[in-house]
Amino acid sequence: MLNKIKDLIFDPYPLRTLAKQIVKKFGAYEDRLKLGAVDRPEYGYCVYNAAALAKKLGYKRISVLEFGVAKGNGLLNLEYHAEEAYKIFGVEIDIYGFDTGEGLPEPVDYRDLPYHWKKGFYKMDVPGLQAKLKKAKLILGDIKDTSKEFFEKYNPAPIAAVSYDFDFYSSTVVALKMLEADEKYYLPRFFCYFDDVLGTEIELYNDFIGERLAICEFNQSHENIKLGIPYHFLENKVIQPWFNKIWIGHFFKHSRYNDFVSTEGQ
Ligand SMILES: C[S@@+](CC[C@H](N)C(=O)[O-])C[C@H]1O[C@@H](n2cnc3c(N)ncnc32)[C@H](O)[C@@H]1O
């Protein structure tokens, strides 16, 4: 009851919240997604827009990756959004989830925030999750090893959306290095979600540790691939906290980067 009252006091858009509850029950997927009336709207946003861009560029099949799977709630949610996006755009979506299967490894140094994370957090129930997954593939092992063989072993359809949720700087650096693979494995632009970039007064995330440092260093060291901030969110009337966890990947030298995808006759 107290929590309900607190929610009411701190809700700047109570009418919108009410509309969201109604749309969540009765609305079509695209309306629910637009209003944020879905589970993990940030995942839905990335998958939906990845499929929309793929459709415009004429790709029939794309891949979506999750770095850091843990209990698998994110991967199951990606399956849901991929199914909905397929119904709208007719683009097939493969899903891959990367994880040790054994939880977090030992933090390497201060950049992995050992004051917040410990080895073994987020251990996976591998058979339990495998039994629940409909189509997503689990890539088990340390990303240091699995990243080396992923492209050759799976020959994935072009990657169009990625959730980076490894928590650690050291693991995220390796995941980002995978962007150096052949352009055939990527759409010219792709949608990224970084889970550990806001946090609380405990994590105190900043540009010098964690996932934010991995992003900064990646951008500094790659002239032709950049992870950019999605300024278009600032056009929205209602700003959601997760907007600040989205980046857009750009491959400036991708052979399809300049293909026209906008409105004709402007
Ligand atoms: C916070 S959990 C992921 C949660 C999940 N994305 C979700 O939304 O439910 C972080 C995961 O990253 C994995 N991880 C961290 N570093 C890794 C590495 N070097 N290789 C593989 N997995 C790693 C851990 O095993 C852990 O399960």
CA-closest candidate to residue 146, choices 175, 181, 170: 175
Q: How far is the CA of 99 from the centre of ligand 1 (A)?
A: 5
Rounded Cα distance, 64 and 169, in Å: 21
Q: How far is the CA of 138 from the centre of ligand 1 (A)?
A: 12
Q: How far is the CA of 103 from the centre of ligand 1 (A)?
A: 6
For residue 129, the tally of other CB atoms under 10 A from its CB is 21
Confidence of residue 151 (pLDDT cuts 50, 70, 90): very high
Q: What residue type is 130 in one-letter code?
A: Q
Q: Does domain 39-251 have CATH number 3.40.50.150?
A: yes
pLDDT in tens, 234-253: 999 888 999 999 999 999 99
Confidence of residue 94 (pLDDT cuts 50, 70, 90): very high
Best of 122, 123, 169, 205 for a ligand 1 pocket test (most atoms within 8 Å of beta carbon): 122
Q: How far is the CA of 216 from the centre of ligand 1 (A)?
A: 21
Confidence of residue 14 (pLDDT cuts 50, 70, 90): confident
Rounded Cα distance, 107 and 86, in Å: 38
pLDDT in tens, 160-201: 999 999 999 999 999 999 999 999 999 999 999 999 999 999
Which atom of ligand 1 has the smallest separation from the CA of 124? 27
- pLDDT on residue 134: 98
Does the pLDDT of residue 86 top 90, yes or no? yes
Q: How far is the CA of 34 from the centre of ligand 1 (A)?
A: 28
Rounded Cα distance, 165 and 162, in Å: 9
- For the whole model, what pTM was predicted? 0.96
Write the residue with the smallest CA distance to atom 7 of ligand 1. Answer: 74
Ligand 1 proximal residues by C-beta, below 6 Å: 66, 68-71, 73-74, 98-100, 103-105, 122, 142-143, 165-168, 171
Q: How far is the CA of 159 from the centre of ligand 1 (A)?
A: 19
Helix 41-57 vs helix 73-89: crossing angle, to nearest 10? 40
Does the pLDDT of residue 11 top 90, yes or no? no
For residue 239, the tally of other CB atoms under 10 A from its CB is 11
Rounded Cα distance, 61 and 63, in Å: 7
Rounded Cα distance, 67 and 180, in Å: 16
Rounded Cα distance, 182 and 174, in Å: 16
What's the average model confidence in pLDDT over 101-113? 98
Geometric angle at alpha carbon 73, from 53 and 31, rounded to 5°: 45
Average pLDDT of the chain to the nearest whole number: 96
The three-state DSSP-derived secondary structure of the chain is: CHHHHHHHHHCCCHHHHHHHHHHHHHCCHHHHHHHCCCCCHHHHHHHHHHHHHHHHHCCCEEEEEEECCCCCHHHHHHHHHHHHHHHHHCCEEEEEEEECCCCCCCCCCHHHCCCCCCCCCCCCCHHHHHHHCCCCEEEECCHHHHHHHHHHHHCCCCEEEEEECCCCHHHHHHHHHHHHCCHHHEEEEEEEEECCCCCCCCCCCCCCCHHHHHHHHHHHHCCCEEEECCHHHHHCCCCCHHHHHEEEEEECCCCCCCCCCCCCCC
Domain boundaries of the chain, sorted by first residue: 1-36, 39-251
For the chain, give the percent of residues with pLDDT over 90.
88
Which atom of ligand 1 has the smallest separation from the CA of 142? 20
